[in-house]
Chain A
Amino acid sequence: MLGVSLRSLLSHKLRLALTTIAVILGVSFVAGTFILTDTIDATFTGIFNTADAGVAVTVHGHAIAGTGKGIGGGQNHPVPTSLLATVRAVPGVKDAVGDIFRNGATLIGSNGKPIGGNGPPTFGASWITDSAISPYHLRSGRPPTQSTDVVVDAGTAAKNNLTVGESIPIVFQGGVEQHFTITGIAGYGSSDNLGGATIVLFSNATAAQVMNAQGKYDSILVSAESGVTDVVLRERIAQALPSYAEAETGQQAAQEAEQSTEDTISTFIGTPLLVFAFISLFVGSFLIINTFNILVAQRTRELALLRALGATRAQVLRSVLIEAALTGLVASILGFGVGILIAKLLLSFFGSASTAGITLLPRTFIVAVLVGTIVTVIAASLPARRATKISPVEALAEALPETQPLPRRRIAIGVVIFVLGCAALGVGLFTSSDAKLQLIGVGFLAVFIGVALLAPLLVVPVAIVLGWPVRRLRGAAGMLAGENARRNPRRTALTAAALMIGLALVTMVAVLTDSLKVSTDNAIEGAFRSSFIVFTEGPDFSTQAAQTLAADRALSDVTEVRGTSVLIGGSSEGIAAIDPTNLGRVLSLNMVSGDASAIASTDTAIVDSTEATASNVHLGQMVTFDFPQGSPVRIRVGGIYTANALVSGYIVSIATMAPQVPTPLDDILLANAAPGVSEHQAEAALDHDVSAFPLLKAMSRSEYRAFVGQSLDTFLNLIYVLLAFAIIIAVLGIANTLILSVLERTREIGVLRALGMTRSQTRSMVRWESVIISLLGAVLGLGVGLGLGIAVTGSLHSLGITEIAVPGQNLAFYAIAAGFFGVIAAIFPTIRASRVDILRAITTE
C-alpha cells in the first residue's frame, strides 16, 4: 500500500513539491542571512553590555577621522597618562583606570604560524586590576604582573589548547617573536572573547611598552560612587577634561560599539549574503513560473470545464492564485525553518563564540514569509492569466497546439527589456550616477529577463546543433531527445534560463577575476623593479624588519614603503613615504608631469593622476597634510604619476613623514640582490632574515604575482559557493520540467517501449534531453556572462583593470559542468520514464 500512496504522491504532489523546494531554498537563504546577522549582532550586544557593565563613564581622545567603523567601533586618539589624575579628582568618581587596547599583538602557535591567521583582529591590551570595572574575568591562573606574563582570552585558549604555565611567542606589529608565559585565561564580559578576535593581556607597564603606548592610554574607564548617576558623572568629568579628550557614559560607549559592529556586519556579511539570497530567489521564480505553466497547461481542460460550467475568468484565476499563495506560504514557512539550520551551519563556520543560541526576530519570519509567498504568487500569475484567456471551447476540443510561434509582442517586449537593461547597466557602470548600484542591479535583472523572454527563439537552432551529435551517438534515443527538447521552446527556454543566470554570473566573475589577474600581473611587472618584496596580509608592520634587511650584505637597495593616514581638507587619506635614494631601482613610476625625484626635497609630494583629477590638484599646488599624531604640514605637489599595483595616492619622502609619525610602520619592503650576489643566494638570505618575523612574507617578483593570482582564485571560489544555491535551484528546475514532461508524455513513452525501446534507451532519451536543456543554459549563460563580464571589467579600467581576459579553460569547464548538471537533473526523471507501465500508458485514454 505504501508503494501505491507514494506513487500517487509522486504523480500529483511531486509537481508542487519541486516548486516548494525552489521557494524553500530561496527563502531559507534570505531567512538564514537575517538570522545569522541578527545572532552575531545580539552576541556582540551581549558582550558589550556585560563588558561595560561596571563602567560608568569612558574618557578617550577624539575619533581618528577615517579609521572608519569596525567591530567594536572606530579608533580614537589616545590620551596622556597624566589625564588619569585629572579624572580621579572629579567628585563622584569611585575609581578610574587607564586602558590600553589596540590591534597588533599576534600569538604564534606551536606550529610557528600566527594564531588567527589573517582573520579577526589580534588585540593587545592592559590588564585592568579593578575587577568592578574590568571586562576581563579570570577563569584560571593569575593576572599578569611580570614583564613576561600574559593572560589569553578563553576563546583563543580553548581553540588552540593553550594552558596556564605554557610559554608562548608573541609578535607585535609584525616584528620579531618575544616570549611570554601564560599566567591566566580570562573571559571577556559574559563571553569567551570578543566575537572571535584574539585578546592578549599584559601588565599595564608591559602593555605600554609592547603596544607602543608609552605615556598614553587608549581610554580611561571610570566607575561611579553610589548615588551618582552615569549621566551626572559624565557631565562633571566632561567639564574637567581638556579639549583633546571627551567623555561618554558606559552605556553610550556600548551603544556606539554595537552600532558600529552592526554596520560592519551588515556591510561585510549581511548585504553580500542578501544579494546572493535574492539571486537564488530570482532563479527560483523561473522554476515557479515554469511549474505553474506546465500545471496550468495540463489542467487547461479542467479549467475550461469550470469555465463552461459558468465559472468566471476571475474565479478561475483566483483559484490558481490561491493555490499558488498556499504553496508559497507553506514553502516559506518551511524555508524559514531551513533558514534556521543554514544560520546555525554558517555560525559554526564563522566560529562564533555565541553560547546563547540563535536570535529569531519577528521581522525575519515576516520578511521570509512575505517574500516567498509574493514571489510565488507573482510567478504563478503569469501562467494563470494565460490559462484563463483560452476560450472554453478551444480547450475542451483538446487541440493542444504542439509548437506555436513566439508572439511578436513577446519578442518586442523581450527586446525592449533587454535593451533597457543594457542601457541601465551602461549608465550604472560607466557614469558616476548617484544611483549607480541600483542601476546596475536593475540592469542585471532586466538583461536576464530580456534574454529569458527571447530565449525560445534560440531553442530550435541550438537544439538542432546540439541534437546532431547526440543523434549520431545515441540513435533513436538521441533523435527523440533532440526533438523533445525543442517541442516546447518556451518551456525549454525558461528552464534553461534559470541555469543561465547562475552560469552567467559565474562567467562574469571569472572574466572579471581573470582580467584582474592579467592586469595585476602586468601591473606588478610594470610597477616595481626590485627582485624581492616583503609584506604582510594584515596591518602595517614595524620597521624592525627593514633594519634587519638593511644590515644583510646579500641585499641592497632595501627600501621601505611606509604608510600612514593624514587629513587632507578634512577627509582621511592614506599616504606613502619612500626613501627617494633608491626609488628608481626598486619602483617604476610612470610620470604624467613633474619628476619622481621631486620628493627628495622635504615637504614635497607626488600624487597619482586619478587622485589629482578627483580632488582637482595640479603641479606646484600647496596641500596641507594634517598628521593625527603630529602637526599640519604644507606640502607642495612636485609631480603627478600613474597609480600602479603597489602605490597610489600621495607619496612623500621618509624624511618628510618621520617627524610627524612617532611610531612609523611599513606597508611593504622592496629589495634587490647585492652586487655580486646571485638572485638565488639573495633570496635565501632574505628568507632567513624574514623567518624571524612570523607575520611577514618575502617573495620574489614572480612568486608575488602567483600569490596575488591565488588570492583572486580564492575570491572566485567564494563566489562559486555563493552561487551554488542559484545553480542547485536551476538544476532542480530542469529536473522539475523533465518530470512534468515525462508525466505528460507517459502514453508516448509507453508506445515507444511497446515498439521495442529498452529501459536504458528510454533513460538515455530523457537524459540527453536534459543535457541539451542544460547546454542551452550554458550557451545562454556563457554568452550573457561574457557580455556582462566584459562590460563590468571595461568599467573598472580606471581602477587599473586594463586588460580584458577571457578564461577559456574556465568557460569550457562551465560548459562541461552544465552538461553534467543535466545528467544529475535527469536522474529522477529517467527513473520515472523507465518505469512507465506500458500497458497502462497505452490503454488509458
Chain B
Amino acid sequence: MAVSTTPSPNSVSESQPVAAQTTDAVKVYGRGDAMVRALDGVTVAFAKGQFSAIMGPSGSGKSTLLHCLAGLDRLTSGTVHIGDVELGSLGDKQLTLLRRERVGFIFQSFNLVPTLSAYDNIVLPLTIAGRKPDAAALAEVVRITGLGDRLKHRPNQLSGGQQQRVAAARALASQPEIIFADEPTGNLDSKASTDLLDFLRHAVSALGQTIIMVTHDPIAAAHADRVVFLADGHVVNEMHGPTADSVLGVMRHLGD
C-alpha cells in the first residue's frame, strides 16, 4: 500500500509564491459499495513560474486532482486555491470566468474546434472573453510554436503534433496565470512529444509561465522542475529536478 506518511504539507520554498494549492482535498465518487475515494486528503501546492508534473498509476487520482485544481470539478471536502481565490465558494458562472481569465488548458486529444482555423482556435479563449489579442505576445507564441504557415488551416488539415501545438498556443495566447496539461503527449509520437515538451519547458523558462501537467510518461515528467507522485488518492512522494530514470524508479515502487 501507499507510504503512510505524506511529505510535509508542501515543498514550495518560502520565497516562491503559490500558483495553486489544495488543502485536505477529498473527492468521493459514487455511494455505498460503489464508493471510490479518488482524492483522500491531498494537500499540495504548486509554485508560480514552475513546470510541475503529477504522476501516478491509473486510478491514483492524478486526473481528478488536475480537474479539481483547474475548476472543472468540485471537491467533496477540503479547499482549492488558484492564487488567492478559493474555488469551492465560486458558482458556475464565476468558475467559468475564472477559467477564462486565469487558466489555460492543453488536453490529451487536442480538442480543437473543427470549424475554426488554427488562428481562430488559438485566439478562441480571447474571443470568448471578448478580448483583443495582444499582437506582440501572440506573434511570439506563434513564432515559438512554429505555426506561422499553418494559421489558416483547419484542424483536420494538420498533423497530430501540429494540432497539439495549436492547442498549446491556445493555452498560452491568453497569458493565463496557470496552464493545466492533461496527458498532453498521450496521443503524440515521440518526436512530436519532445517538440511539445521543449515548447512547454521554454514557456516556463523564458516566459515565466506556470504549468501543471498530468502524465504517466517518465520522459515527459523529466521535463518538469518537480514531480508530485500520487497513489490511491494520496500524495506519496515528490521529486525536484527529476530525470526519466529517477521518475521510473519511484513509479516502479508505486506500481508494486
Binding site for B on A (CB under 8 A): 402, 475-476, 479-480, 483-484, 487, 747-748, 751-759, 761, 838-839, 842-843, 845
A838 lies within 8 A of B72 (CB): yes
The CA of A555 and the CA of B59, in the complex, are separated in Å by: 101
- Contact at B111–A842, with CB atoms within 8 Å? yes
Return chain A residues, CB-CB under 8 Å to B97: 756, 758
A-B CB contact pairs (8 Å), 28 listed: A476-B128, A476-B130, A479-B120, A480-B113, A483-B113, A483-B115, A483-B116, A484-B115, A487-B115, A751-B107, A751-B111, A751-B113, A752-B113, A752-B128, A754-B70, A755-B105, A756-B96, A756-B97, A756-B100, A756-B103, A757-B100, A758-B93, A758-B96, A759-B93, A761-B128, A838-B72, A839-B67, A839-B72
Q: Which residues of chain B come closer than 8 Å to A754, judged between CB atoms?
A: 70, 72, 99, 105
**Cβ–Cβ contact A839 & B73, under 8 A:** yes
The verdict on B114 contacting chain A, using a C-beta distance below 8 Å, is yes
B73 to chain A, nearest CB (A): 5
CA distance A754 to B70 in the complex (A): 9
Q: Is B113 within 8 A of A748, CB to CB?
A: yes
Q: Which of A475, A752, A842 is the one whose CB lies under 8 Å from B107?
A: A842
Tell whether, in the assembled complex, residue A475 and residue B63 are in contact, meaning their CB atoms are under 8 Å apart: no
* A755 and B124 within 8 A (CB): yes
Query: A842 — which chain B residues lie within 8 A by C-beta?
Result: 72, 107, 111
Q: Does B109 contact A (CB under 8 A)?
A: yes
Interface-centre pick from A476, A757, A761 (highest chain B CB count, 10 A): A476
Q: Are B128 and A402 touching (Cβ within 8 A)?
A: no
A476: contacting residue among B70, B107, B109, B127, CB under 8 A: B127
B114 in complex: contacting residue of A402, A479, A757, A758, CB < 8 Å: A402
Q: Which residues of B contact A838 (CB under 8 A)?
A: 72
User: Is B244 on the interface with A (CB-CB < 8 A)?
Assistant: no
Known: A402-B154, A838-B72. A757 touches B128 (CB 8 A): yes
Given the complex, which residues of A lie within 8 Å of B109, measured CB to CB?
A: 845
Q: Which residues of B contact A (CB under 8 A)?
A: 63, 67, 70, 72-73, 92-93, 96-97, 99-101, 103, 105, 107, 109, 111, 113-116, 120, 124-125, 127-130, 154, 156, 170
Contacting residues, chain A, for B111 (C-beta < 8 A): 747-748, 751, 842
Closest to B155 in A: A402
Known: A402-B154, A839-B67, A839-B72. A756 touches B129 (CB 8 A): yes
Interface SS majority for chain A: helix
Instruction: Determine how close the nearest CB of chain B comes to the CB of A777; give it in whole angstroms.
Output: 21
CB distance from A693 to the nearest CB of B (A): 70
Q: How far is the CA of A772 from the CA of B92 in the complex (A)?
A: 29
Nearest chain B CB to A514's CB is how many angstroms away? 41
The smallest C-beta distance from B141 to any residue of chain A, in angstroms, reads 16
Question: Contacts of A845 on B, CB cut-off 8 Å?
Answer: 109
Q: How far is the CA of A483 from the CA of B103 in the complex (A)?
A: 26
- The CA-CA distance from A756 to B92 in the complex, in Å, is 11
* A838–B101 CA distance with the chains assembled, in angstroms: 17
A751 to B108, CA, bound (A): 12
**Are A756 and B93 touching (Cβ within 8 A)?**
no
**Chain A residues whose C-beta falls within 8 Å of the C-beta of B129 in the assembled complex:** 756
Within the assembled complex, what's the spacing in Å between the Cα atoms of A475 and B132? Answer: 11
Which residues of A sit under 8 angstroms from B73, Cβ to Cβ? 839
Question: What secondary structure prevails in chain B residues at the interface with A?
Answer: helix
Complex Cα gap A46–B35 (Å): 71
Partner of A755, one of B93, B120, B128: B128
A684 to B124, CA, bound (A): 73
B210 to chain A, nearest CB (A): 18
User: Residues of B contacting A476 with CB < 8 Å?
Assistant: 124, 127-128, 130
Query: In the complex, how many angstroms separate the beta carbon of B68 from the nearest chain A beta carbon?
Result: 10
Q: Are A755 and B99 in contact (CB under 8 A)?
A: yes
Task: Check A755 against B125 for contact (C-beta < 8 Å).
Answer: yes
Q: How far is the CB of A398 from chain B (nearest CB, A)?
A: 12
User: How many angstroms between the C-alpha atoms of A756 and B127 in the bound complex?
Assistant: 10
Q: In the complex, A842 Cα to B183 Cα: how many Å?
A: 13
> In the docked arrangement, what's the CA distance between A244 and B100, Å?
95
Q: When A402-B154, A843-B63 are in contact, do A756 and B113 touch as well, CB less than 8 Å?
A: no
The docked-state distance in angstroms from the alpha carbon of A843 to that of B66 is 12
B250 → chain A, closest Cβ, in Å? 25
Apart from A402-B156, A755-B105: 8 A-B pairs, beta carbons within 8 A: A484-B115, A747-B111, A751-B107, A751-B113, A755-B100, A756-B97, A756-B103, A756-B129
Question: Is there an interface contact between A759 and B92, defined as CB atoms closer than 8 Å?
Answer: yes
- Closest Cβ of chain A to B25, distance in Å, is 16
Cβ contact within 8 Å between A756 and B125? yes
* CB closest residue in chain B, given A483: B115
Q: Are A753 and B156 in contact (CB under 8 A)?
A: no
B116 nearest in chain A by CB position: A483
- For residue B127, which residues in chain A have a CB less than 8 angstroms away from its CB? 475-476, 479
Choice from B93, B96, B130 contacting A475 with Cβ under 8 Å: B130
Q: Across the two chains, which residue of chain A brings its CB closest to B154?
A: A402
Q: Which residues of A contact B99 (CB under 8 A)?
A: 754-756
Q: How far is the CA of A838 from the CA of B180 in the complex (A)?
A: 15
User: In the bound complex, how far is the Cα of B214 from the Cα of A843, in angstroms?
Assistant: 13
State in angstroms the CA–CA spacing of A839 and B70 once bound together: 11
Residues of chain A contacted by B114 (CB below 8 angstroms): 402, 487, 748
**Cβ contacts under 8 Å, A756 to chain B:** 96-97, 99-101, 103, 125, 128-129
Report the separation of the CA atoms of residues A753 and B92 in the bound assembly, to the nearest whole angstrom. 10
Question: Which residues of A sit under 8 angstroms from B63, Cβ to Cβ?
Answer: 843
| Closest Cβ–Cβ distance, residue A555 to chain B (whole Å) | 73
Please give, as numbers and ranges, the residues of chain B lying within 8 Å of A487 by CB-CB distance. 114-115
Query: A761 vs B92: C-alpha distance in the bound complex, in angstroms?
Result: 13
B54 CB, nearest partner CB in chain A, Å: 16
Residues on the B chain within 8 Å of A759, using CB? 92-93, 96
A772 to chain B, nearest CB (A): 13
A756 nearest CB neighbor, chain B only: B100
Q: Top 9 closest A-B pairs, CB basis?
A: A756-B100, A483-B115, A476-B127, A751-B111, A476-B128, A756-B99, A755-B125, A758-B96, A487-B115
Tell me the minimal C-beta distance from A260 to chain B in angstroms. 63
Please name the residue on chain B nearest to A478 by beta carbon. B127
How far, in whole Å, are A842 and B108 apart by their CA atoms in the complex?
Answer: 9
CA of A483 to CA of B114 in the docked complex: distance in angstroms?
10
A748 to B113, CA, bound (A): 6
**In the docked arrangement, what's the CA distance between A838 and B107, Å?**
13
| Cβ contacts under 8 Å, A484 to chain B | 115
Complex contacts, B96 vs chain A, CB 8 Å: 753, 756-759
In angstroms, how far is the closest chain A Cβ from the Cβ of B90? Answer: 13
Q: In whole angstroms, how far apart are the Cα atoms of A843 and B96 in the complex? A: 18
- Quote the shortest CB–CB distance from A403 to chain B (angstroms): 9
Give bound CA distance, A759 to B94, whole Å: 11
Cα of A708 to Cα of B114 in the assembled complex, Å: 57
Give the residues in chain B near A758, CB-CB below 8 Å. 93, 96-97
A484 to B115, CA, bound (A): 7
Complex Cα distance, B108 from A845, in Å, reads 10
Q: How far is the CA of A484 from the CA of B114 in the complex (A)?
A: 10
Q: How far is the CA of A757 from the CA of B116 in the complex (A)?
A: 16
Whole-angstrom distance between the Cβ of A216 and the nearest chain B Cβ: 82
B116: chain A residues at CB < 8 Å are: 479-480, 483
Closest to A755 in B: B125
Distance of A744 from chain B, by nearest CB (Å): 11
Q: How far is the CA of A475 from the CA of B114 in the complex (A)?
A: 18
Q: Which residues of A contact B125 (CB under 8 A)?
A: 755-756
Expressed in whole angstroms, the minimum distance between the Cβ of B244 and any Cβ of chain A is: 27
Provide the bound-state CA to CA distance between A751 and B171, in Å. Answer: 12
A residues near B105, Cβ cutoff 8 Å: 754-755
Q: How far is the CA of A479 from the CA of B92 in the complex (A)?
A: 23
**Residue in A closest to B124 when the chains form the complex, CB atoms:** A755
Least Cβ distance of B117 to chain A in Å? 10
Nearest Cβ distance between residue A762 and chain B, in whole angstroms? 10
Minimal beta-carbon separation of A533 from chain B (angstroms): 63
Q: Which residue of A lies closest to B112 (CB)?
A: A751
Complex formed: what's the CA distance from A476 to B103 in Å?
Answer: 18
Q: Give bound CA distance, A818 to B147, whole Å.
A: 42
Distance in angstroms between the alpha carbons of A475 and B67 in the assembled complex: 28
Contacts of A747 in B (CB 8 A): 111
